[in-house]
Amino acid sequence: MNLEGKKIGVALTGSFCTFEKMFQELQKLVDATAEVYPILSNASQTITCRFGTPEAYLERMEKITGKKPILTIEEAEHIGPSAFLDILVIFPCTGNTAAKLANGITDSPVLMAAKAHMRNNKPLLISISTNDGLGMNLKNIGLLLNSKNIYFVPFGQDNYKAKPNSLVAHTELLIPAIEAALEHKQCQPLLVDYAK
The CATH homologous superfamily to which domain 7-182 belongs is Flavin prenyltransferase-like (3.40.50.1950)
Q: List all residues 6 or more positions away from 145 whose beta carbon is below 8 Å from its beta carbon.
A: 152
Q: Which pLDDT does position 48 carry in this prediction?
A: 87
Average of per-residue pLDDT across 57-76: 95
Give residue 46's pLDDT band: very low, low, confident or very high (50, 70, 90): confident
3-state SS record for 137-178: CHHHHHHHHCCCCEEECCEECCCCCCCCCCEEECHHHHHHHH
Domain locations in the chain as residue ranges = 7-182
124 φ, ψ (degrees, to nearest 5): -115, 125
Which DSSP category does 66 fall into? S
pLDDT in tens, 21-43: 999 999 999 999 999 999 999 99
Supply the pTM of this predicted model. 0.95
Per-residue pLDDT at 189 exceeds 90: yes
Per-residue pLDDT at 134 exceeds 90: yes
Q: For a pLDDT cut of 90, what percent of the chain falls above it? A: 84
Give residue 70's pLDDT band: very low, low, confident or very high (50, 70, 90): very high
